[in-house]
Amino acid sequence: MFLGKVVGTLVSTQKEASLDGLKFLVVRRLTAENEEESGYVVAADAVGAGLDEVVMVATGSSARQTKFTDKRPCDAVVMAIVDSWEVSGEEKYRK
């Protein structure tokens, strides 16, 4: 999984039918030091994440292992909201 920050939302009405009801989030990648990178992903939301929240994203077939994304053409999912993490004994983020 990688760490990301929810920076936006996306609206799509014309889409594969099985995707109805899914909420799509624009998630910016974060370094392990909690700095925003230019990379991003659009991920389905499985945990009710809000704007500016720091989250974990799972990709690939693992992104389909939630009730929201099962058997859907979805390759990225926000599967956890992060409370905190530390690196080398130093706290890099706390909610």
Tell me which residues touch its own copies (CB under 8 A).
1-3, 7-16, 18-19, 24, 26, 28, 31-32, 38, 40-43, 46-48, 56, 58-66, 69, 71-77, 79-88, 92
CB of 35 to its own copies, least distance (A): 11
CB of 51 to its own copies, least distance (A): 8
DSSP 65-87: -STTTTTSS--EEEEEE--EEEE
Pairing of strands 84-87, 54-59: unpaired
**Structure token pair of residue 93:** 């983020």
Q: Which is nearer to its own copies, 14 or 21 (CB)?
A: 14
